[in-house]
Amino acid sequence: MAFRFPDPIYPIIDPGNRPDRSHVELAEEILAGGARLVQLRVKSGTTRDFVEIARAVKVLSDRDRAVLVVNDRADIAQLVDAAGVHLGQEDLSATEARRWLGPTKIIGVSTHNLEQAREAINSGAADYLAFGPIFATSSKVNPDPIQGLAGLAQVHRHCPLPLVAIGGITSETLADVLLAGADAVAVISAITHHPSPREAIRDLLARGRSVRRTSGSAAT
């Protein structure tokens, strides 16, 4: 069955510059807020640390019947039996990851321009594309050039795969991003910087679903 985003919000579990919140604590909050698809992003620490965190988050996602995708590491996704992996431009190619993970795992690919998007689409191995940054973002040390809503709309016109937008998206800009062609919106800072990540997810999901209803795009 072809992959589709279950909701217009794709939360990424990454405490970032909030050391007072662990990955597992943040995952608890995000899942309690109603997320049905989450991505685990661990950018520091050892591989052992990543595996331990991934195993703990997998227990939580299984408990709440949510789909877990692991960022960057196809090996860890396979080890913990996550639903799939999300790959950056410097990670394994989607084709290589597909050979490793097999036909049933979800593979997402981050892209930052139309050429990269076309390459990922033409590989035939990706289930969905991420595109951005749409706006300025604080979630990456060296972010790629801002693509804006026009860039997103351009990629949407050429993309037969589900498309998730990422980069500096807030509750205030969420509607504009969805209406520009994104099937879902990935969020990090809008969750981690909120006093209550659980309430942040609930609010974002409500706003996103409202846009889907208004625009006539049915959620799965």
Give yes or no for residue 9 having a pLDDT over 60.
yes
Locate tokens 């979630």: which residue? 139
Question: Quick one: DSSP state of residue 140?
Answer: -
Segment 59-69 shows an average pLDDT of 98
Neighbouring C-alpha atoms within 13 Å toward the C-beta of 11: 34
In this predicted structure, what is the pLDDT of residue 220? 39
SS3 141: coil
Query: Among the options 61, 110, 139, 189, which is catalytic?
Result: 110
Alpha helices in 105-159, H assignment, sequence order: 114-123, 148-158
Backbone φ and ψ of 199, nearest 5°: -70, -35
9-85+132-147+163-214 carries CATH number 3.90.1010.10: no
Query: Among the options 21, 55, 118, 140, which is catalytic?
Result: 140
In angstroms, the CA 138 to CA 147 distance is 15
pLDDT digits (tens, 9 = 90+) for 25-62: 999 999 999 999 999 999 989 999 999 999 999 999 99
Backbone φ and ψ of 114, nearest 5°: -65, -35
- pTM, two decimals, is 0.94
The mean-pLDDT minimum among 37-46, 62-71, 129-138, 202-211 falls in 129-138
Give the bridge partners for 38, in sequence order: 68
pLDDT digits (tens, 9 = 90+) for 88-106: 999 999 999 999 999 999 9
From residue 130, how far is each of 120, 152, 180, 199, 218 by CA, in Å?
10, 10, 14, 25, 20
Query: Among the options 36, 41, 58, 73, which is catalytic?
Result: 41
Specify whether the CB–CB gap between 34 and 209 falls below 8 A.
no
pLDDT digits (tens, 9 = 90+) for 81-92: 999 999 999 999
Of 215, 131, 129, 219, nearest in space to 176 by CA: 215
Backbone φ and ψ of 39, nearest 5°: -120, 135
From residue 193, how far is each of 14, 41, 102 by CA, in Å?
11, 16, 36
From residue 129, how far is each of 111, 209, 216 by CA, in Å?
7, 20, 22
Q: Is 140 a catalytic residue?
A: yes
Q: Is 63 a catalytic residue?
A: no
Checking phi first, is residue 96 left (phi over 0); if not, alpha (psi -120 to 50) or beta?
alpha
In angstroms, the CA 9 to CA 78 distance is 24
Q: Where are the domains of the chain?
A: 9-85+132-147+163-214
Q: Is 48 a catalytic residue?
A: no
